Amino acid sequence: MDHEKLVVSGGNPLRGRIEAGGAKNSALKLMAATLLAEGSYRIERVPRIVDVQTMVQVLGRLGCATTFEGNTLTVDVPAEPGTEAPYDLVRQMRASIIVLGPLLARRGHARVSMPGGCAIGSRKIDLHLRGLERMGAEIAMDHGYLDARCDRLTGTRVVLDFPSVGATENLIMAGVLAKGTTRIENAAREPEIADLCAMLATMGARIAGAGTPDVEIEGVDALRATDHVVVGDRIEAGTYLIAAAATGGDVTVTGVAPKHLDLPLQKLADAGAQVDAGVNEVRVAMPGGPKPVDFVTLPFPGFPTDLMPQMMVLCSLAGGDSIATENVFESRFMFVDEIRRMGADIRLDGHHAAIRGGARLQAAPVRAPDIRAGAALVIAALAAEGETEITGLGFIDRGYERIEERLATLGARIERRVPR
Ligand code: EPZ
């Protein structure tokens, strides 16, 4: 894969309709949630991306059988799943840490390789661990592994220092089988959390306040397997809508709830786009050149950090100066050097980026340093003059299903070249 590249000829406005896939950042957690009860699960609209494949491997190591039919995943969970998530898989995908809560709740033991940092930040998990310890877990570091044990978790009040998505999800999945009631305050409110709670509810869990800062979980003795359809991927949808704006196009993304994209759509409208929100679809058209906008990333319902790189590309094309502020991850501007090579004029000052607009992006060989930065480079290449070669596809494929084929349906001149 590392030698594959995307070759993009820029300058074509994107036009047409495209269906959003199921959300990566929900599907991974729904797959982990299956560990909470024995039985067969049918999860529809699961994106066929590398991260999902890694989670399939993690479930496989824990004794679960999985089969895919199109985007429908069946997971068969045994009476006693394994309890170890190994280093070789966790290092490929930090999100594997999300099996910690379900395994501890279900089996009273979980051994998970300690996830390292990544290109966008240190990615600490202290809030996960502190919350589980407050619920009675004993957690030790053992040769690079977190070894967590508890006869049965006990519900309690946990106040999160920061509304961490992963910590909220791990603690919810710990609380559903705990003794008594767990109350998570300053919880994350991302739509993917509400989607997880919707699936847990059909498994028999008792959860109130999903998607709000205060989530209350009344533990039950047992849960049951279920079926679920993954919520639409607001980040994939946002990526295509920003690409439409950056190329002066007109694109409708279906299968996504506009309310999951309130702030990005508002910023696109501020940038001069025509934005039409339908029941479960959004249309973005950019008749003229983009205008500058300032934006700051924050936990939901703030502007999503996972759309920050894409939006910075749009701002670099704008007729004026914009300021982007990244508040969620401490080193998420690594990609800036790559779009500077394409002619963007961006100055960094801590977690602020001053983007001088009016750039005429030019083709240049670039490399994706992470999933969303990779998507931003594709957008830059679609807006640039000439033919751009993008490498580091391993990252893009982790979060986007068949990106070149899907963009080509909107008129993009893009292809994947695989060395012979
Ligand atoms: C999820 O990561 C997403 N990943 C990320 O998407 C997304 O950027 C992020 O939420 C924020 O929206 C998945 O869902 C798989 P956090 P997560 O815990 O759960 C700090 C993508 O491209 N923190 O909300 O890891 C942490 O260091 C990815 O799809 C602690 O300090 O995010 C970070 O700065 C990238 N201690 C901030 O909080 C903790 O215990 C947000 O992290 C936990 C987090």
Dig out the tokens for 301 from the structure. Answer: 């319902």
Task: Please write the tens of the pLDDT for every residue from 225-241.
Answer: 999 999 999 999 999 99
Average pLDDT of span 338-366: 95
**DSSP 8-class letter at 22:** B
How many C-beta atoms lie closer than 10 Å to residue 255's C-beta? 17
Name the pLDDT band for 2 (thresholds 50, 70, 90): low
Measure the CA angle with vertex 385, ends 381 and 386; round to 5°: 85
Average pLDDT of span 48-74: 97
Residue 371 in contact with ligand 1 by CB distance below 6 A: yes
Q: pLDDT value at position 121?
A: 78
Q: Is the pLDDT of residue 84 over 80?
A: yes
Residue 127 in contact with ligand 1 by CB distance below 6 A: yes
Residue 26 in contact with ligand 1 by CB distance below 6 A: no
Write down the mean pLDDT value for the chain. Answer: 96
Residue 68 in contact with ligand 1 by CB distance below 6 A: no
Distance 123 CA to ligand 1 centre (A): 7
Least confident of 92-96, 219-223, 370-374: 92-96
Q: pLDDT value at position 90?
A: 85
Distance 205 CA to ligand 1 centre (A): 25
Which of 64, 118, 150, 315 is an active site residue?
A: 118
Q: Is the pLDDT of residue 199 over 90?
A: yes
Task: Please write the tens of the pLDDT for every residue from 248-259.
Answer: 999 999 999 999
The amino acid present at 191, given as its one-letter code, is P
Predicted TM-score (pTM) of the model is: 0.97
Mutate to test the pocket of ligand 1, among 31, 328, 333 (most ligand atoms within 8 A of CB): 328
**Is residue 118 annotated as a catalytic residue, yes or no?**
yes
Task: Give whole-number Cα distances, 257 to 173, 270, 399, in Å.
Answer: 25, 20, 19
Q: pLDDT value at position 59?
A: 98
Q: pLDDT value at position 1?
A: 56
